[in-house]
Amino acid sequence: MSQAETVALPKRLPLVPQPENRDESTDKDAKLVNAYVEKGKQEGEYWVFKRPGLLQYGSTFTGAGLGVYNWLGDIYAIFGTTLYKNGVSIGTVGAAGGVYRFASSLGDTPRLQLGNGVTSYNWDGTTLTPIEATAVITAGDFVVAIEYTILTVGTTDFTLIGASANTIGIVFTATGVGAGDGTATTTSSFPIPCVKGWAYLDGTTYVMDQKAYIYGSDTVPGMNRPDLWTDLTNNIGAQIEPDRGVFLAKQLVYVLALKEWSTEIFYDAQNPVGASPLGPVQGAKVNYGCVNGDSVQEIDGTILWLATNRSSTSQIIALDNLKASVVSTKPIERLLGEADFTSVISFGIKYEGHRFYVLTLPVNNLTLVYDMTDKMWSQWTDPAGNYFKIVASTFLPNTGRILQHETNGKLYLMDSEYKSDDGETITVDLYTPNFDGGTRRRKQMTMMEFVGDQTDGSILQVRTNDYDFQPGKWSNYRQVDMSVRKPVLPNCGTFVKRTTHIRHQSDTRMRLQGVELQLDLGTL
């Protein structure tokens, strides 16, 4: 082929691939796997980083991972049907309902709440107590005007607070809070089942049922009592739209009812006893609902979730200061458009200035990662190339980010200091878009120079495809040693358009800035 003189073409191969899938599959077009992008100091400067690795933290437990949470400096984790505090079993919980959500309250006795929509519990530092349809109340916690049935008499004189006699089974309406150690039962206002999510606001803990009614814990005889749910009047419906409740959240000083097609917002209206303290924020409705409550995560006050409404397919929404914005791109929405949402996993993690929202669709074997800081998307996998099998995360000062595995009974620390996933190789795959240099004339590529960190043991495997990502049309891998001062690939052939696949499978860190191309333009 006759050659022209070297002409001014782009000097660098595009190396910041956003997902560009043309359909619901990730098999074609640009993508970035097990890495993330960081903007540099100069305009248009970007770096591609290998994602942080994992290292086991603590013991190996039995059962599926169902939630991890830092409360008062202690790590609470659920594996199977057991709740652990710092690795020590403290109680049995229900496994049906999937991953638990956690919240906490203040008061003379701070309490931890945990629930997964099917079963819910309070932990007061000593005892794990289920929240049930029938509540057992001890004297001192009776609420005036609530009806009770005496369960045990003990040292309590029930006749002083409305009972006709101190006899088990007597039904009475409380005229006082009572004293002693006697107990009585009453109907709980806690909805069973409820949707996932807790909202703590001004001393009251709120939950929501599937009918979109929000229920609050007792506001008398004192605040911060998420163990007391006896006030049947403490509820309010999210009824601007007739859709069902999906998840309850909180942002700033507002309670958010995420429903099927819409989101309604409430504030503490300080209503008197006999009604919910909450009132609707007029005009603050969000026209996006929630596809699956397990997709909801709060990161630095921003709430992200898998959303939809009556007029659109599924999208990823970020709600910041009660203002909703769509953060999913068109290619991401093509993936979501054909996805199966019967099972959804999500978690959030902050790392070295980045804030990652991680959404996993197990049925589709796909984990999507959105970097809120640089507004970039990528994919993460486990060492076998399947979806990233982490279900929950938390943070412990002086220890770091703690992640929980879906099935193997392990907690992990996550940091770039760990260059593998607990000894298993992390495979970084970077697929560039089709590159033609601005013309469909044939090009001669005499050299590719890889710009990145000079790291001992870091090897890139590079191959190309000149046939629009067609399987079987890939060249053989060629190796590039990133430990040398000038890592290059010579004699890279001719092409009209070409995609490049860069793979990193070394147990080292990896950071790439670009690939400089030496190109000659042909006449045809």
Number of C-beta neighbours around residue 407 at 10 A = 11
The DSSP result for 356-383, as a single string, is EEEEEEGGGTEEEEEETTTTEEEE-B-T
Q: How far apart are CA 173 and CA 150, in angstroms?
A: 11
The one-letter amino acid at 440 = R
Confidence class for position 2, pLDDT limits 50, 70, 90? very low
CA distances from 25 to 20, 91, 292, 312, 447 (A): 10, 43, 22, 20, 32
pLDDT digits (tens, 9 = 90+) for 357-386: 999 999 999 999 999 999 999 999 999 999
Contact partners, residue 490, CB within 8 Å, separation at least 6: 446, 447
Q: How far apart are CA 121 and CA 83, in angstroms?
A: 11
Residue 76 and residue 101 in contact, taking contact as beta carbons nearer than 8 Å: no
Question: Which residue in 254, 275, 252 sits closest to 265, CA to CA?
Answer: 254
Residue with tokens 């169902």: 66
| Coil/strand/helix, residue 336 | helix
- Look at strands 390-396 and 376-379 and give their pairing: unpaired
More confident residue, 522 or 464: 464
pLDDT digits (tens, 9 = 90+) for 292-329: 999 999 999 999 999 998 887 899 999 999 999 999 99
Confidence class for position 343, pLDDT limits 50, 70, 90? very high
Q: What is the mean pLDDT of the chain?
A: 94
pLDDT digits (tens, 9 = 90+) for 125-147: 999 999 999 999 999 989 888 99
Contact partners, residue 294, CB within 8 Å, separation at least 6: 98, 99, 196, 344, 345, 346
Q: Is the pLDDT of residue 4 over 50?
A: no
Confidence class for position 5, pLDDT limits 50, 70, 90? very low
Q: Average pLDDT, stretch 482-498?
A: 95
Q: Is the pLDDT of residue 270 over 70?
A: yes
Q: How far apart are CA 452 and CA 35, in angstroms?
A: 14
